[in-house]
Amino acid sequence: MFSEVKKCLVLAVPLAAAQLAQSATGFVDTVMMGWLGSQTIASGGLGSVFFSFCILIVSGIVSAVSPLAAQAYGTGNREKVGTIVRLGLGISLLLGIPITLLLYNAGALLLLLGQDANTVALAEIYLRAIALGFIPALGFAVLKSFLSAVLQPQLIMVTVVLGTLFNITANYVLMFGKLGFPALGLAGIGWASTLSLWSMFVTLTVYICNQPDFAVYGIFSPSSKKAFPLEHRRIIGEIFEVGLPIGGLIAVEAGLFTVVTFIIGQLGTNALAAHQIALQTISISFQIALGISLATTVRVGQLVGQNDLLATRLAGYVGIAISVLSMGVAGITFWLVPKSIISLYIDISDPNNADVVALAVKLLGVAAIFQIVDGVQVTAAGALRGLKDTRIPMLIGIFAYWCVGLFTGYTFGISSGYGAIGLWWGLAIGLAIAAIIMTWRFSNKTTNHG
């Protein structure tokens, strides 16, 4: 058991650090939006949620590269690993082009969703700047899945940390017009993110191309085989078979938070600003659990490739346990020092921000309670992903997040008049149901029924 804990942590620590650094981009963006005022943080936050929603879904689809490559790596088939990654990059480009166009023209859609016209006008400025970072973000997700599958996660962490530092610097320069650049305000934050996403993708590409150890995979080498042989078509089909439900599960979970954001947006700017602060905060702690989940997917996938059922089961449980511990620490932090957290975003001593602060404190209190179940459900889903079990978890997510979570949240928040607090309690209940059912399914799938 201790050996598996060590192996999981070797993968999980750099992956969680990379996820944290990557989420720091959104955190820094939100903090700097706050420097421009409550209206900007509400508008920019709305744009950020929409961009994140799109990137989560599509990167979820191409993240099928991770369990597929991990299983191929576990069986020792290096050529197949390279083929999976190469085809994953092609799919990223295919999916990335239409979503980039959607992001660039998202203003009309946001208006149809009932958002304030002034808020949408500012959000559109941000989205048009960050839209060109969508395709490299997908390419980076594929290369990250590859490096994780072949047990080389350290480079991911270094690249993301450097990319985040670059993003922070570029934010400041472009937002305020330093070093001879014009002051672009909210657009500057979007352009900084785009430049950062391109820099991270290019860094991984150059590194992989120039490392002899990776030559055996032939990721960027021209294929000597005929265009789309049967094996390639089968792998493409498998990427979509595994990846579409992954994207679907992410869509129903992220969609729940996105829809709640839109509903809260109709409750006013103060409610939306408080929600954005709390949402950005929990997204940081969630990245730790997501990093552990990614590591669990790889460990489970590799052990499935080695046909070791007992070790597969242990790897999933170890990942879930580590996630529970990390999210428990986050929950205690939210509960004990909420105002210190909120002060990172806005001036809590400013009377104009009093309503936002009061509501954000309450939302963080709810978040503190559901941190553990959030960690369990995302890591259990990661363990199931390692088994290439993705369709049923997507259906579980639809039931837990939408049938239970959104219905309960809308009943508490809107019908019963508890506003944002009621909507957040709905989120908590939905996540708890998902955690229970997904953990039970992993246990059942890894039990030798003989």
List the structure tokens of 297. Answer: 């997917």
Backbone φ and ψ for 441, nearest 5 degrees, come out as -65, -40
Q: pLDDT digits over 154-182, tens only?
A: 888 889 889 988 998 998 899 888 888 88
CA distance 214 to 242: 25
Residues 6 or more apart in contact with residue 402 via CB below 8 angstroms? 252, 255, 256, 430
pTM, two decimal places: 0.79
Determine phi and psi for 142, rounding to 5 degrees.
-65, -45
* Contact between 264 and 423 (Cβ < 8 Å): yes
Dump pLDDT digits (tens) for 390-449.
899 999 999 999 999 999 999 988 888 888 889 999 989 999 999 999 999 999 998 864
Mean pLDDT score, 136-156: 87
Q: For residues 364-386, give the mean pLDDT.
A: 92
pLDDT at residue 105, as a whole number: 87
Most confident of 2-6, 110-114, 253-257, 433-437: 433-437
Using one digit for the tens of pLDDT, what is the confidence trace for 85-106? 999 999 999 999 999 999 988 8
Q: What do you get for the CA distance between the two ends of the chain, in Å?
A: 23
Concatenating the DSSP letter of every residue in 331-392 gives HHHHHH-HHHHHTTTS-TT-GGGHHHHHHHHHHHHHHHHHHHHHHHHHHHHHHHHHTT--HH
Q: What is the mean pLDDT of residues 136-143?
A: 92
Per-residue confidence (pLDDT) for residue 449, from 0 to 100: 45
Do residues 200 and 159 lie in contact, with contact meaning Cβ atoms separated by under 8 Å?
yes
How many whole angstroms from its chain centre is CA 434?
17
